[in-house]
Structure 1
């Protein structure tokens, strides 16, 4: 098991007993590109996880080892700065956040690795940040609250990875609960858990194989387009702070002033927030078909209005739509690649996977990786047993 291998690698490399931490990646059932617009998201932590072995080393040096890459990085604690090594930035960004808040971070050793596929839209970066923060918080007895851990992880991503992500990914990694999806209100940071029954239906992820880079200009462009829309609407409705405060009627009334592109972006976000609310209502009624319809509508909006899909993702959703046992399907994550999330009747999962692989190969000539995901608890300790 990978977690055991990482603990063993730490013993071999540093010769001391480490603290062992696991931090999950996440799926988002619905609510995409709503988080940075102060809207609603509906994520869950999943059993694709990052594992950390961490110990203080009584030195003034931070020694990091990426197990999966077999790469190492050393930095003096008083010289923490963005690195040329991209993976190290997620960890160093966390240290910098703690230092900025007056936490004295001494030298420490860390070996980490995981089963979260990079570039698949499952938030490997947030899992790395939150796992590192949880470990240091425990070792240093810094008494950070869970929400502070999520926010510091987000700030590390902004400042060191240069990705202006919303809070959802880090929140899900910290606050996940087994068998539940959690609706986060990104404006108030209130949250509420909703049951997700994995006996009747399974979550299957289909990886398009197209690597997305969230730091790409397109992601930040979408944020700017939403902000442009808010700026226009505020002239007419001073109470509007974000797209969360906007109605479809207001958008329609100022459609010409917004222009076609900004109008499409804004209307997608407003509609997606409504879909999250409706999905939660349907979950409490155990109406999986209804949930699936909301997912298909979400994908159509992401593809046509928000324009963050790609041919590969659209094809995966089209195939899923005509496959027996599928309740719903949509692209998940920032877009331009990564995975689709599919709700599939438990007894149909094997057939679904086979059909998707065959059709994807036939239609696009591409191999398809799939992952079945189980909803698990958020970041925590594990034992090497």
Structure 2
């Protein structure tokens, strides 16, 4: 059991009784690349998770151990800076956010590890950030609210990992609720839960097994292209503060000025926001086939207009669509690899997995990993510290 492994590893490397915290990864049913554009997303926390064992150590040093990498890292807390060890940057970034808020972070020991597949688009990085932020908030009695912890984790990723992510991943890890998806308005940070009937369909993830190296740089490029579009629109429509405020009519009116690429990027975001809102109404109505059609529309937009898909993801979505019991499928995450998310009738899951593995092997000669996930609650304490 993962919790026993992490606790045992902590006791082998350090001496205190740790606080044990669970931080889940996330899926996003629909609403991709909308978060940094002030739009809507529809994520859920899942049962792939990172566990943390953390205890204060009465020194001025953070002693970190990555269970999955079997690597130690030590940092003086007075000198927290971005470094060469990427996994440590996520943790140091969180510490820096506490320090910026005037909260003194004393020395601590930390062991973390989990079963969120890296590079699969399930937000292992957000789980790492949120887990440590939650643990330090508990140990230091800092009394920071979950939304503040989400913002801090997001800034840690901006400043120490160099990815200008929106807040969705961190929010989903902290705010998950069992058997519910949550629609987040990424501008106002208002949110609403919608029931997701896991007896009517299961979430199956198909991992393309690829992570193209251009993912991070292209992510930042897409963000800049959207900002360029907003700058053009704002000259004509001062009320347009983000693509959330833009309409398709406005984009079409100024298509020549925007240029083909920026126009298509902006069109995708405006259409995707509409798909999220429609998808929520389909959930209320219990109409999974209609929800699935929004997913297929999302994938087509990501492939053709936003251009963040890749052949492997497109093959997986095309293979899933005609299979019995499949309500919907699309690529999920930043793009250029990672997973597709598939909604599948429970009695068809086994046949679906078999067919998908065969199709992926036949089309691309690649082995396909799949994960069945359930929707769970957000970051929480598993075992309180007795130290």
What TM bracket, shorter-length normalisation? over 0.9
The aligned counterpart of 2:363 is 363
The aligned counterpart of 1:77 is 77
Structure 1 residue 198, shift from structure 2 partner = 0.3
The aligned counterpart of 1:307 is 307
The answer on whether the counterparts of 1:248 and 1:267 sit within 8 Å (CA) in structure 2 is yes
Give the Cα separation in 2 of the matches to 1:263 and 1:171: 29
State the aligned residue count: 384
The answer on whether the counterparts of 1:212 and 1:338 sit within 8 Å (CA) in structure 2 is no
The 5-angstrom pairing of residues 327-338 of structure 1 reads: 327-338=327-338
**Residues 207-266 of structure 1, C-alpha deviation per residue, up to 9 Å, x if partnerless?**
000124576221111011111111111111111110000011111111111111111100
Give the Cα separation in 2 of the matches to 1:269 and 1:319: 25
Structure 1 residue 90, shift from structure 2 partner = 0.4
Moved over 6 A (4+): none
The aligned counterpart of 2:87 is 87
The aligned counterpart of 2:265 is 265
SS in 2 for 1:50: strand
RMSD: 1.0
Residues 1:191 and 2:184 are matched in the alignment: no
Give the Cα separation in 2 of the matches to 1:11 and 1:215: 38
The aligned counterpart of 2:4 is 4
The answer on whether the counterparts of 1:119 and 1:212 sit within 8 Å (CA) in structure 2 is no
Greater mean deviation of Cα atoms: 129-138 or 10-19: 10-19
The 5-angstrom pairing of residues 1-385 of structure 1 reads: 1-212=1-212, 216-383=216-383
The answer on whether the counterparts of 1:119 and 1:213 sit within 8 Å (CA) in structure 2 is no
Greater mean deviation of Cα atoms: 114-123 or 204-213: 204-213
Give the Cα separation in 1 of the matches to 2:33 and 2:262: 14
**Residues 127-150 of structure 1, C-alpha deviation per residue, up to 9 Å, x if partnerless?**
000000000000000000010000
Give the Cα separation in 2 of the matches to 1:213 and 1:3: 32
> TM-score, with normalisation over the residues of structure 2?
0.98
The answer on whether the counterparts of 2:23 and 2:128 sit within 8 Å (CA) in structure 1 is yes
The answer on whether the counterparts of 1:163 and 1:215 sit within 8 Å (CA) in structure 2 is no
Give the Cα separation in 1 of the matches to 2:363 and 2:201: 27
Structure 1 residue 383, shift from structure 2 partner = 3.3
Give the Cα separation in 2 of the matches to 1:339 and 1:314: 11
Structure 1 residue 124, shift from structure 2 partner = 0.2
The answer on whether the counterparts of 2:19 and 2:54 sit within 8 Å (CA) in structure 1 is yes
Greater mean deviation of Cα atoms: 365-374 or 214-223: 214-223
Give the Cα separation in 2 of the matches to 1:16 and 1:229: 53
The answer on whether the counterparts of 1:208 and 1:338 sit within 8 Å (CA) in structure 2 is yes
SS in 1 for 2:210: coil
Gaps (5+ residues) in structure 1? none
Gaps (5+ residues) in structure 2? none
